[in-house]
Amino acid sequence: MEVKNCRKCGKMFNYVSGPQVCPACKEVAEKKFQEVKEYVREHKTASITQICEDCGVENKQVQQWVREERLVFADDSPVKLSCELCGAQIRTGRYCDKCKKETANNISAAGKRPEAPVSRDRRESSSHKMHTFHNG
């Protein structure tokens, strides 16, 4: 077992995994999150500044919840998040659905070698006349 100092209160605690925060601070953060989530649901048009002021949370903390996709903003929320890759407007997280999918594809394809480009002469025979075989 590993003993670490809590990043929030500095207390020593038995660290298992995840953020380096003691169980007590984790619970406080969790309660705060529920409060903020409730607040956002009731105040759909609140800005992040307003959320921070009314709930007594740090802007940084709110943004972390957003990045973790725990906090989702309503359609009419003035909070504008944009995809870090293409700039499309999103409601939560860091990327839009499209980029998320592409990122996932890139990750799964990362282990494989990129396919060699099909030359113009060969394309006709390989891709146009593909047969599908059904088993059974």
Interface with Zn ion (CB under 5 A)? 6, 8-9, 11, 22, 25, 83, 85-86, 88, 96, 99
Decide whether 60 or 131 has the Cβ nearer to Zn ion.
Answer: 60
Question: At closest approach, how far in Å is the CB of 48 from Zn ion?
Answer: 21
- Report the C-alpha gap between 11 and 5 in whole angstroms: 5
Question: At closest approach, how far in Å is the CB of 30 from Zn ion?
Answer: 13
- Report the C-alpha gap between 65 and 1 in whole angstroms: 28
Q: By three-state DSSP, how is residue 36 classified?
A: helix
Decide whether 86 or 104 has the Cβ nearer to Zn ion.
Answer: 86
Question: At closest approach, how far in Å is the CB of 26 from Zn ion?
Answer: 8
Cα distances (Å, whole numbers) of residue 17 to 3, 5, 13 = 11, 13, 12
The residue count for the chain: 136
Decide whether 86 or 109 has the Cβ nearer to Zn ion.
Answer: 86
Question: At closest approach, how far in Å is the CB of 7 from Zn ion?
Answer: 8
Decide whether 3 or 130 has the Cβ nearer to Zn ion.
Answer: 3
